[in-house]
Amino acid sequence: MLKLARWSTTHRLYVILGWLAVIAAAGALAHTVGATYSNNFTLPGSGAQQAGNLLARSFPTQAGDRDQIVFKSTAGSVRDAAVRDRLTAMFAQVRQLPHVAAVIGPYSGAGDAISRSGRIGFATVVFDQKTGALPKPAVERVIRAARSAADSKLQIELGGSAIEATEAEGLGLSTAIGLAAAIAVLLLTFGSVVAMGLPILTALLGLGTGLSLIALFTHLVDTPSFSSELAAMVGLGVGIDYALFILTRFREAYRSPGPSEGKVRESVIEAMDTAGRAVLFAGCTVVIALLGMMLLGVTFLYGVALSAAIGVALMMLTSVTLLPALLTLAGERIARPGRRARRAQAARQAPRAHATRLPDGTPGRHPHTQTSTGRFHLGRGGSEHASVRAKAARLAAAMRRAAPIDPCRWLRWSAFVQRRPRTIAMLATAAMLVVASPAAAMRLGTSDASEGPSSFTTYQAYELLAKGFGPGFNGPLQVVAKLRHGAGVAPVRDLASAIGRSPDVASVAPLHLNETGEVATFSVYPRSSPQAAATTDLVSHLRERVIAPVARAHGMQVYVGGVTAGALDFAEVLSEKLPLFIGVVTFVSALLLLIVFRSLVIPLQGALMNLLSIGASLGVVVAIFQWGWLPELFHAQPGPVQSFIPVMLFAIVFGLSMDYEVFLVSRVHERWVRTGDPKRAVGEGLALTGRVITAAAAIMIVVFLSFMVGESRVIEEFGLALASAVFIDAVIVRSMLLPAVLDVAGAASWRLPAWLDRLLPRLNVEGSPDHVLPFDRIAAMEEELELARAGAVAQAAAPTEV
């Protein structure tokens, strides 16, 4: 880090121009080749995947996705000759389009595709490929051709996974709101437009480069459509936070005593040697946690994990290379206090200047002077408690001018926590367990089109199908059976009859045989919606109680597939592999903390507290999105939690919480090494980092919450889960639970068996010895605060003339 910081500050112009060239080249290349997002996923060995593979071999022209063209006549029946002719011509036009294998219309006599009222009907468009392989222009041509037949008396909408892929929302509004909120928090934190601008600038450059690389990356790996939104959400939050940590350390270093010549560059190097190390360590931990999702073996998550990892890695690189170069150019303006702070300082100095005049009006020496060593001593004049109060006030003012934090407030808070650490630890743990309790009832699944924006054609198609036929027609199950040679079609008819008699099945479509007569397929329409718990139970019931006996009796191999069944299999696979993923990521993160801090307590508390934070955030998601609490505020319809939310949340939050863990614990460890007093180390470490962690958490929270402005349920769930996790981690864990636990553990927090210490490698995130800030001013401040409190007591007991 020292070499990198020195090189970046010495060659700052090359660094800035280099980053501008990188983002320009990546953006131009991404604009030229475009992005190909894919929402397809494969689950080897699952029933839905085996059904898809058998269909692909036996019905190669019908193995692609099946979407619907839904229509409604507002004046008469869809069986009217004029309406029928109009729709038949449109079906013929769609059938001739590229990548369309067939169009099964309602007038072919195959199935009941017209509602009982006669006003609503649907046709099935069979594509020749799955959604991920379908070119977006081909699907858009189908949409245009279908809707061209609509008029004032005929409403036409389209639904299905291929249609949904064309309706992905952009990042504009959510990103703009997140940036505006982050700007407001940074202005409140630094009180300076220039100091606010650098974190925003570095974050935007990193975000732009990352999104361009993700767009290129989609041509190599199947990447879901929401990956760029997720990468923007996480990257924007961590990018601003990383810059904030480095910027805060730079201002501390610049305002400490020392020669002014070359101080900007030395302060930048000092900040990178301390906070820069922590940023590099925390960023790598986030990337490791994200890439850990590949252990699940689910290809659908590979693109998500790599996209988010790219976003975080780019933010980390801009923070440790571009930010030092920019700080070297604008360091003096950033280190200067803001206008509000300068006005407050002038207001504090005015009465002091008035009070230090002699009785004849001439300027005089204040009775409580400061020596050449910087230590205050009591003058002869005035009462003792007044001198103590004046000294404490002057020292506090000096501290506020010397650092961008207010340690006094956090020292008082840490003292409050340390007076009753066991009680606070138990109360904080109990509160987090209460918030996490709804997670025990979490139901994983996939939200259907009813959760989408009302302006989307997929939402309108869903509503029309549900009104005309029932909600189950929006998610048909596809049954595929492989027959014994020469068995004929009778076994499949028996199977269809058995399925049709199930109480939760609305209807069964006619079956189709392949050319060899060895494979048959038919659709099953549930009575409940695709995301309903009843549909999940129906799939399990059909597989275990209905299909299995008939298949054994006739020697068939039968699989239940389709989008709905595939989503249920996906949720089941993730539920089975989640414990392994949690165990591996927790172990690796705890091992890193063990190496860095040479402690057994720190890794243990870090792992347990992170699990509590994640559990509490999942509890919030279940309460809002699954149970439908606070509908007036969040406008969320009750439904299952997206299957991959727990996995993604665990990876992201476990990585993000390492930021605060490293930033806070490294400061506590610094104070422990210098003082040997565990209580004092906890108080001063929290005092030095409290405001920065609070500001960083506030930025992340507002950025994550800004993505709830959109209408994508997946992104809304991510935004609320991440925002609640960061809030709980910063407010409860870092401000109450962690200080209380470290206070109870005392010196044991930093003990490590000698044999283990010899085996572990050395990894320093606290900086070289030359770049440890002069924290003695914190100890002096604490001493003066004690004297001030004593003086206040004395004044209350014996009032004087002051």
The backbone torsions φ and ψ at residue 130, rounded to the nearest 5 degrees and listed phi first, read -75, 165
For tokens 């048959």, what's the residue?
520
Residue 498 confidence (pLDDT): 93
Residue 499 confidence (pLDDT): 94
- DSSP 8-class letter at 124: E
- Strands 519-526 and 512-513, by their bridges, are antiparallel
Distance from C-alpha of 374 to C-alpha of 392, rounded to nearest angstrom: 14
pLDDT at 240 over 80: yes
- DSSP 8-class letter at 710: S
Task: Kindly report the number of other CB atoms within 10 A of residue 748's CB atom.
Answer: 12
Average pLDDT over residues 564-568: 84
- Strands 641-642 and 444-445, by their bridges, are parallel
Of 33-47, 71-85, 226-240, 269-283, the poorest mean pLDDT is in 33-47
pLDDT at 49 over 80: yes
Distance from C-alpha of 167 to C-alpha of 726, rounded to nearest angstrom: 30
Contact 788, 389 (CB under 8 A): yes
Q: How confident is the prediction for the chain on average, in pLDDT?
A: 81
Residue 57 confidence (pLDDT): 86
- Answer with the residue of higher pLDDT: 292 or 309: 309
Residue 623: which pLDDT band, with cuts at 50, 70 and 90?
very high
Please compute, for residue 26, the number of CA atoms within 13 A of its CA located in the half-sphere on the CB side. Answer: 20
For residue 466, CA distances in Å to 122, 322, 567, 641 come to 12, 54, 20, 22
pLDDT at 338 over 90: no
Residue 162 confidence (pLDDT): 85
Residue 220 confidence (pLDDT): 84
pLDDT at 669 over 90: no
Q: Give residues with Cβ within 8 angstroms of 57, minimum separation 6.
A: 519
pLDDT at 796 over 50: no
**Exposed / middle / buried, residue 467 (Cβ in 10 Å: 0-12, 13-18, 19+):** middle
The length of the chain is 802
**Exposed / middle / buried, residue 151 (Cβ in 10 Å: 0-12, 13-18, 19+):** exposed
Expressed in angstroms, the distance from the first to the final Cα of the chain is 54
The backbone torsions φ and ψ at residue 368, rounded to the nearest 5 degrees and listed phi first, read -115, 90
Residue 343 confidence (pLDDT): 62
pLDDT digits (tens, 9 = 90+) for 515-526: 888 899 998 999
pLDDT at 17 over 90: yes
- Answer with the residue of higher pLDDT: 502 or 365: 502
Q: Which two tokens stand for residue 691?
A: 């405001």
For residue 708, CA distances in Å to 174, 242, 718, 723 come to 8, 23, 9, 10
Our CA angle for 482, 487, 489, nearest 5°, is 75
- DSSP 8-class letter at 322: I
Q: What percent of the chain has pLDDT over 70?
A: 83
Of 128-132, 470-474, 689-693, 796-800, the poorest mean pLDDT is in 796-800
- Answer with the residue of higher pLDDT: 203 or 406: 203
| DSSP notation for 95-163 | HTSTTEEEEE-TTSSSS--B-TTSSEEEEEEEESS-GGGS-HHHHHHHHHHHHTT-BTTEEEEEESHHH
Q: Which two tokens stand for residue 662?
A: 């490293």
Distance from C-alpha of 555 to C-alpha of 548, rounded to nearest angstrom: 10
Of 166-170, 325-329, 384-388, 620-624, the range with the highest mean pLDDT is 620-624
Residue 257: which pLDDT band, with cuts at 50, 70 and 90?
low
Residue 787 confidence (pLDDT): 47
Average pLDDT over residues 145-161: 92
- Answer with the residue of higher pLDDT: 771 or 245: 245
Of the candidates 269, 161, 160, the residue with the CA atom closest to the CA atom of residue 225: 161
Of the candidates 136, 160, 198, the residue with the CA atom closest to the CA atom of residue 70: 160
Rounded to the nearest 10°, the torsion over CA 7, 259, 245, 275 is 60
pLDDT at 783 over 60: no
Fill in the amino acid letter for 632: E
- Answer with the residue of higher pLDDT: 451 or 75: 75
Contact 442, 286 (CB under 8 A): no
Residue 582: which pLDDT band, with cuts at 50, 70 and 90?
confident
- Backbone conformation region of residue 503, classed left if phi is above 0, alpha if psi is from -120 to 50, else beta: alpha
Sign of the C-alpha dihedral computed for residues 31, 181, 616 and 168 taken in this order: negative
Predicted TM-score of the model (pTM): 0.78
Q: What percent of the chain has pLDDT over 90?
A: 29
For residue 405, CA distances in Å to 184, 334, 539, 570 come to 18, 15, 58, 48
Average pLDDT over residues 156-169: 82
The per-type count for the chain, helices as H runs and strands as E runs, is 29, 11
Average pLDDT over residues 255-268: 78
Distance from C-alpha of 200 to C-alpha of 192, rounded to nearest angstrom: 13
Residue 404: which pLDDT band, with cuts at 50, 70 and 90?
very low
Average pLDDT over residues 602-628: 92
Residue 358 confidence (pLDDT): 41
State CA 18 to chain mean position distance.
29
Residue 192 confidence (pLDDT): 75
**DSSP reduced 3-state for 763:** coil
Residue 505 confidence (pLDDT): 93
Of 350-364, 625-639, 783-797, the range with the highest mean pLDDT is 625-639
For residue 796, CA distances in Å to 301, 347, 408, 787, 792 come to 66, 27, 22, 14, 6
Of 159-173, 442-456, 627-641, 722-736, the poorest mean pLDDT is in 159-173
pLDDT at 800 over 80: no
The backbone torsions φ and ψ at residue 519, rounded to the nearest 5 degrees and listed phi first, read -130, 130
For tokens 């900040």, what's the residue?
271
Residue 378: which pLDDT band, with cuts at 50, 70 and 90?
very low
Of the candidates 359, 425, 439, 448, the residue with the CA atom closest to the CA atom of residue 637: 448
Fill in the amino acid letter for 476: P
pLDDT at 776 over 80: no
Distance from C-alpha of 492 to C-alpha of 512, rounded to nearest angstrom: 10
For tokens 């990892």, what's the residue?
309
Residue 178 confidence (pLDDT): 75
pLDDT digits (tens, 9 = 90+) for 108-146: 765 578 898 899 999 989 888 877 678 888 999 999 999
Of the candidates 594, 584, 534, 592, the residue with the CA atom closest to the CA atom of residue 564: 534
Contact 51, 478 (CB under 8 A): yes
Of 199-203, 402-406, 545-549, 734-738, the poorest mean pLDDT is in 402-406
pLDDT at 41 over 60: yes
Of 265-269, 568-572, 739-743, the poorest mean pLDDT is in 568-572
Residue 252: which pLDDT band, with cuts at 50, 70 and 90?
confident
Distance from C-alpha of 421 to C-alpha of 443, rounded to nearest angstrom: 36
For residue 573, CA distances in Å to 138, 221, 533, 783 come to 32, 21, 17, 59
pLDDT digits (tens, 9 = 90+) for 173-210: 667 777 787 788 778 777 778 888 888 888 889 989 99
pLDDT digits (tens, 9 = 90+) for 341-368: 556 556 655 555 444 444 444 444 443 3
pLDDT at 774 over 50: no
pLDDT at 417 over 70: yes
Distance from C-alpha of 284 to C-alpha of 238, rounded to nearest angstrom: 12
Q: What is the 3-state secondary structure (H, E, C) of 715-744?
A: HHHHHHHHHHHHHHHHHHHHHHHHHHHHHH
Of the candidates 427, 362, 453, the residue with the CA atom closest to the CA atom of residue 164: 453
| DSSP notation for 521-553 | EEEEEESS-TTSHHHHHHHHHIIIIIIHHHHHH
Average pLDDT over residues 574-597: 86
Residue 377 confidence (pLDDT): 38
pLDDT at 427 over 90: yes
pLDDT at 456 over 50: yes
